Structure 1
Amino acid sequence: MKVGFIGLGIMGFPMASNLIKAGYDLTVYNRTIEKAEKLKGAKVARSPKEVAENSDVVISMVTDAPDVEEILFGENGVVKSNKRGLIFVDMSTNSPEFAKKTAKRLSEYGIEFLDAPVTGGDKGAREGTLTIMVGGKESIFKQVEPIFRAMGKTIIYVGDVGSGQALKLCNQVVVALNMVAVVEGLLLARSFGIDDEKLFTVLSTGAANSFTVQYYLPKIMKGDFEPGFKAAHLKKDLKYALEIANSKSLPLLGTSLALQLYNAMVSIGMGEKGTQGLIKVYEKMISK
């Protein structure tokens, strides 16, 4: 199968690289063409329409729902290729409702749709060990599964369209609260004069251990706030999760707090930094 890939950011570039390593015939598009040209072994398209014309499966890995809509239905969007039988896979994180609406709109053009958000951060994207959660027709999932396996280690078929996004939002709630816990634990330890390395040893070898502890706590300790996953993106995901929770009358109190904290992080100009930069919000509160 010929594959198209749209969106070569922190996650998309290494994901596309792994498809090339797996031997796929890859056509890519990125708003910044220069970035696409750095991907050795891929053909560079000048529009999403051109990607679709040269692909059997098109994958998007962009920021939010408006970006996906532009890719699909914009002036030079995927649907303008008039390629019936195409499979479009949105690996971005969006709302389940958006996935359902998108699938319905694409069906009018004879295009199949899967929502397949990922977790594992930039590390998982580079190493090809992402966890991928997939919603859509099972028959279409089975066609695309080998492509997913070139980018991820754990592939979960969840169910109907939108269910991949639903599971991803559950994941993001836990991710966000883990970061809050790590930051607060670190601040408390420092208030006692406890060495950061000793805290890391305890957290990483005991009941508190997690990916956040293993990967992000050392970054915080070093003052490294470059993004593996941007704070502005997590804020967006938490907003989706809370909108759904509110519609179901679910009291996600921790998630509400986490969203407020990430709103604050974006407001102090750190939205493009990694989620571990949350400690800066706490430090600002301490300094007042």
Structure 2
Amino acid sequence: MKVGFIGLGIMGGPMARHLHKAGFLAAVYNRTRAKAEPFGKLGVYVAESPADLAKRVDVVIEMVSDAPDVEQVLFGPGGVVEGARPGLVVVDMSTNSPDWARNFAERLAARGIDFLDAPVTGGQKGAEEGTLTVMVGGREDLFQRLLPVFKAFAKEVIYAGPVGYGQAMKLVNQVVIALNTIAMVEGLRLAEALGLDIDKVARLLTVGAARSGSIELYLPKLLKGDLSPGFKAAHLKKDLAYAMEIANRKSLSLPASALALELYKKMVEKGLGELGIHALGKAY
């Protein structure tokens, strides 16, 4: 199975390297060619466009920022569909929404192209260590066929259901991560105001009942003053906006999620969107 990878950023670059180690990676493409050139030195074909990449592979994985970027990669000038043949599988591993996933799937199906929505969680650390969790929506036979590909960079791979269910599950995950991050930031602010030893508080938050995966991941960086993004605040704001759009459409009250969206909007408005999600305290 020949895999092509589009989008070699914070997450995509490490994921593509794991695919290369597993023997799947046949081609890469990135808008900034400099990020693709190290793969060329490894013998991987560096494509001139998504269409050029699609001609050479059985599976196209794209890992870009948002739905408009996915649309451009797939259907824009020089996009995947221009180089695709019937039977190609497109896997969208970015985070957007169930509506977009179904939209992409329908448009690709009209051209004989299969589609899976397969967003990931685990951040930069998970991408580098090959321990991501993948949530997959689409036909189950396609999921089973691509399972070895996913396992090249993931510790857990969950079949969520039909097209769109991968994105739906990811939005649930993002709401919980956002609220965990708010809890961590506000807890630390209270601890500082009370004059507590922050290292001891950190120990409590990583061994007691309040612990969570996101706290264990981001608290050490926060204590070191490292606000660099394992996952950008602007991207979490985008994900929360998708979640709240669905909640509003369904008349579902999610007051804490609405608060999280407003806080991350403030981060972006203050020019802090390129920092990690754990830098939320900067917005207070």
Query: TM-score interval w.r.t. the shorter chain?
Result: over 0.9
Distance in 2, matches of 1:128 and 1:8, equals 15
Equivalence map 1:192-207=2 (5 Å): 192-207=194-209
Once the two structures are TM-superposed, the CA of residue 81 in structure 1 deviates from its matched residue by: 1.1
Structure 1 unaligned runs (5+)? 283-288
The aligned counterpart of 1:286 is none
Once the two structures are TM-superposed, the CA of residue 251 in structure 1 deviates from its matched residue by: 0.7
The aligned counterpart of 1:163 is 165
Equivalence map 1:134-213=2 (5 Å): 134-213=136-215
Distance in 2, matches of 1:280 and 1:224, equals 13
Find out whether 1:32 has 2:32 as its counterpart. Answer: yes
Distance in 1, matches of 2:278 and 2:265, equals 14
Once the two structures are TM-superposed, the CA of residue 220 in structure 1 deviates from its matched residue by: 1.3
* Alignment coverage as a number of residue pairs: 282
Aligned AA (1:14): P
Aligned AA (1:55): V
The aligned counterpart of 2:17 is 17
Once the two structures are TM-superposed, the CA of residue 26 in structure 1 deviates from its matched residue by: 2.3
Distance in 2, matches of 1:4 and 1:52, equals 7
Distance in 1, matches of 2:224 and 2:100, equals 39
Aligned AA (1:119): T
Distance in 2, matches of 1:25 and 1:201, equals 41
Distance in 2, matches of 1:120 and 1:188, equals 27
Once the two structures are TM-superposed, the CA of residue 43 in structure 1 deviates from its matched residue by: 1.6
Structure 2 unaligned runs (5+)? none
Distance in 2, matches of 1:166 and 1:73, equals 23
Corresponding residue SS for 1:193: coil
Q: Which 10-residue stretch deviates more, 139-148 or 37-46?
A: 37-46
Distance in 1, matches of 2:266 and 2:277, equals 12
Once the two structures are TM-superposed, the CA of residue 108 in structure 1 deviates from its matched residue by: 0.9
User: Contact 2:16/2:25 (CA < 8 Å) preserved in 1?
Assistant: no
Distance in 2, matches of 1:174 and 1:60, equals 25
Equivalence map 1:249-264=2 (5 Å): 249-264=251-266
Deviations 1:95-115 (A, max 9, x none): 100000110000111100000
Distance in 1, matches of 2:144 and 2:119, equals 16
Find out whether 1:65 has 2:67 as its counterpart. Answer: yes
Corresponding residue SS for 2:192: helix
User: What TM-score, normalized by structure 2, do the two folds share?
Assistant: 0.98
User: What TM-score, normalized by structure 1, do the two folds share?
Assistant: 0.96
User: Contact 1:182/1:212 (CA < 8 Å) preserved in 2?
Assistant: no
Give the CA RMSD over aligned residues: 0.8
Once the two structures are TM-superposed, the CA of residue 195 in structure 1 deviates from its matched residue by: 1.4
Distance in 1, matches of 2:19 and 2:220, equals 30
Q: Structure 1 residue runs of 4+, over 6 Å off?
A: none
